[in-house]
Amino acid sequence: MRLFGKRVAHRALGKHTKPGGFLDVRYGFSLLRSRGVGVGYKLGALAVGVMLTGVLLAFEVPFEGLLGLFVPFLGFAGDVMVDGAEAIMMPVIFACLVLPHLTRAGSSEGFIVRQ
């Protein structure tokens, strides 16, 4: 079953995660670190990342409440750990996914050349 899930995920996301694909996180992270990209684009991408993370966390609240009721101590400890990691990492990951599309749309000379 595990192998089947990997195959399905690879078929669904394989062509999009390659360099130049729709979900190229490495390119987005290199744009986030690049000095050639304006601060406005970076802040806009991070703002979108924070908003998407907030929506994701809002949808998780009912499930986390039930988990806290059924497994009180482990549910709370796991919730704090996972939410802390999500609050830090998820906005950056979402920003890396959004930033290449913001720079392509807002730049008159096209998008920044890959290094």
Q: Which domain holds residue 70?
A: 18-106
pLDDT, greater one: 65 or 57: 57
**What is the separation, in whole angstroms, between the first and last Cα of the chain?**
39
The candidate with the shortest Cα–Cα distance to 39, out of 97, 109, 114, 95, is 95
Q: What band does 112 get if pLDDT is binned at 50, 70 and 90? A: low
73 within domain boundaries: yes
Burial zone of 67 (CB within 10 Å; 0-12 exposed, 13-18 middle, 19+ buried): middle
Has residue 96 been placed in a domain? Answer: yes
Give the model's pLDDT for residue 86: 85
* Distance between CA atoms of residues 88 and 94, nearest Å: 11
**Count of domains observed in the chain:** 1
Q: Is residue 5 part of a domain?
A: no
Domain annotation covers residue 7: no
CA gap 82, 18 in Å, rounded: 28
| Model-wide pTM > 0.75 | no
